[in-house]
Amino acid sequence: MKKYVIVGNGSAAVGCIEGIRSVDQTGEITVLSAEKHPVYSRPLISYLLEGKTDTERMKYRGDSFYEDNGCNLMYARAESFDTGAGTVSLDNGQTLPYDELCIATGSRPFVPPFEGLDTVQNKFSFMTLDDALGLDRVLTQESNVLIVGAGLIGLKCAEGIRNKVKSITVCDLADRVLSSILDSDCAAVVQKHLENSGIDFLLSDSAVRFDGDKAYMKSGKTVDFDILVLAVGVRANTEIVKSAGGTVNRGIVVDDRMKTDLPSVYAAGDCAEGFDSSLGANRVLAILPNAYMQGHTAGVNMAGGEASFNNAVPMNSIGFFGLHMMTAGVYEGDMTEEKTDAGIRRFFVKDNLLKGFILIGDVERTGIYTSLIREKTPLDTLDLDFTKKVASSMIYSQKKRRKMFGGVV
């Protein structure tokens, strides 16, 4: 009977468990969780503060998940592993044997060495349930919050706490909001909407020094605050693999089967650097769907099955104060743009393929477009008109549609 050890307890770990169990129903699975919670939906922490969910409903799987899947969940941190002995060493002194190991350690907040950061009393990251609960405890209607970082994490935090505080200022060294997923024009649309919703911005600017409840900015401005949220960026937790001799770039390097270059060691989720088929190169795709799918792929392969995940692309669906946006792929090639009442839609086409899109406002049935990127569907086989407000399977030939909707998929 195989012994599986999964280091980490997020959505990649769940994918791994479900992947293993799709092949092997009896092997022993041990899950190591550094956070003292059963798995929860990490991206929901902002919705928790907003009141759209609660700690019960944000459970990613039901209460009996570990038991139903024959898993031993341990609240312990893995410190190292030995590929020769096939063992994992834990921070509680225990050593666990493994036959197959999955590293699903996720990422951690990157905190730049700000001068005077230790003088700030109320400072938080916004990555974990405990971060969110800690932040929630100090928020009051009189709070002035400074958020460093106008990325997905910083802005979701801003939305989540907007109605609980007096003011929110978001600063970022980048010249626009959501710089990892939006180009300048699209970011301007979103920024305006956020400003109308009561968020203030200091862009192309960042804090260089803190003194108690005052931030001194690069521009020379100062910002008074009582609560500081640091959402500058994240770093993949790769150290455990690096010190075991595995190849690490920005993330743990894996192949299409999620195998690292160490024997019987796999990696999945935000800690891993897999192939991005839209980019044609490896990169960390720190999004939940990718984490689950990588984890599932790893699990199937660990259990002796055959699975390959070779069509991963970056993709995000996110909304702020009622304005929704979806992005996917890379923004390369010829751009087609449609401005609508609701926002803006941009499609990027190169070499007869849809390479990427940014859709703000109208997002109905966008998965039809995402699928064209993932499947690399040649556009000359389609009747595609990007000016149409809503995606439709009318783009396909009748024959293709008959196959899509007439059979078991």
Partner 1 sequence: MKRVYVNEEWCLGCHLCEYNCAFANSGMRDMVAALKDKKIFPRIHVEGDDKITFAVSCRHCTDPICVKSCIAGAISKRDGVVRIDRSKCVGCLTCVLVCPYGALALGENGTMQKCELCLQNLCGAPACVSGCPNKAIVYEERSDAE
Binding site for partner 1 (CB under 8 A): 11, 14-15, 41, 43-44, 47, 52-53, 57-61, 288-289, 292-293, 296, 315-319, 324, 326, 328, 363-368, 370-371, 375, 391-394, 398, 401-409
Which residues fall within 8 angstroms of residue 109, CB to CB, at 6 or more apart?
Answer: 125, 126, 127, 230, 231, 232, 233, 234, 235
Using the minimum distance from each CB to partner 1, give the nearer residue, 289 or 333.
289
Please give the Cα distance from 332 to 96 (Å, whole number).
47
CB 271 within 8 A of CB 251: yes
10 vs 27, which CB is nearer to partner 1? 10
Return the bridge partners of 5, or none. Answer: 30, 101
CA distance 254 to 289: 17
CB of 324 to partner 1, least distance (A): 6
Q: Is 39 exposed, middle or buried (0-12, 13-18, 19+ CB in 10 A)?
A: buried
Nearer to partner 1, 57 or 242 (CB): 57
In sign, the C-alpha dihedral spanning 108, 114, 118, 123 is negative
Return phi, psi of residue 74, to 5°. -120, 130
- Find the shortest distance in angstroms from Cβ 390 to partner 1: 8
Q: Smallest Cα–Cα separation from 228: which of 151, 169, 146, 165?
A: 146
Phi, psi at 307, each rounded to 5°? -140, 145
> With respect to partner 1, which residue has the nearer C-beta, 137 or 399?
399
List, in order, residues 6 or more apart from 319 with CB less than 8 Å away: 325
When the beta carbons of 8 and 15 are compared against partner 1, the nearer one is 15
Cβ at position 120, least distance to partner 1 in Å: 31
CB within 8 A of 321, min separation 6: which ones? 159, 162, 193, 194, 197
Nearer to partner 1, 12 or 227 (CB): 12
Residue 131 is encoded by which pair of tokens? 């971060």
**Rounded to the nearest whole angstrom, what is the least distance from the CB of residue 374 to partner 1 in the complex?**
8
| Structural tokens at position 379 | 């556009």
Query: Is the Cβ of residue 110 or residue 405 nearer to partner 1 in the bound state?
Result: 405
C-beta closer to partner 1: residue 166 or 403? 403
In the complex with partner 1, which residue's Cβ is closer, 225 or 292?
292
In the complex, minimum distance from the CB of residue 63 to partner 1, in angstroms, rounded to a whole number: 12
Q: How far is the CB of 313 from partner 1 (least distance, A)?
A: 10
Beta-carbon-side half-sphere exposure of residue 382 (alpha carbons within 13 Å): 20
Nearer CB in complex with partner 1: 128/206: 128
CB of residue 263 to partner 1, shortest distance in Å: 28
Q: How far apart are CA 262 and CA 253, in angstroms?
A: 10
Torsions phi, psi for 373 (to 5 deg): -70, -50
Least separation in angstroms between CB 53 and partner 1: 6
- Rounded to a whole number of angstroms, the minimum distance from the CB of residue 40 to partner 1 is 9
Q: How far apart are the first and last CA of the chain?
A: 33
Instruction: State the Cα–Cα distance between residues 368 and 366, nearest whole angstrom.
Output: 5
Nearest approach, Cβ of 272 to partner 1 (angstroms)? 16
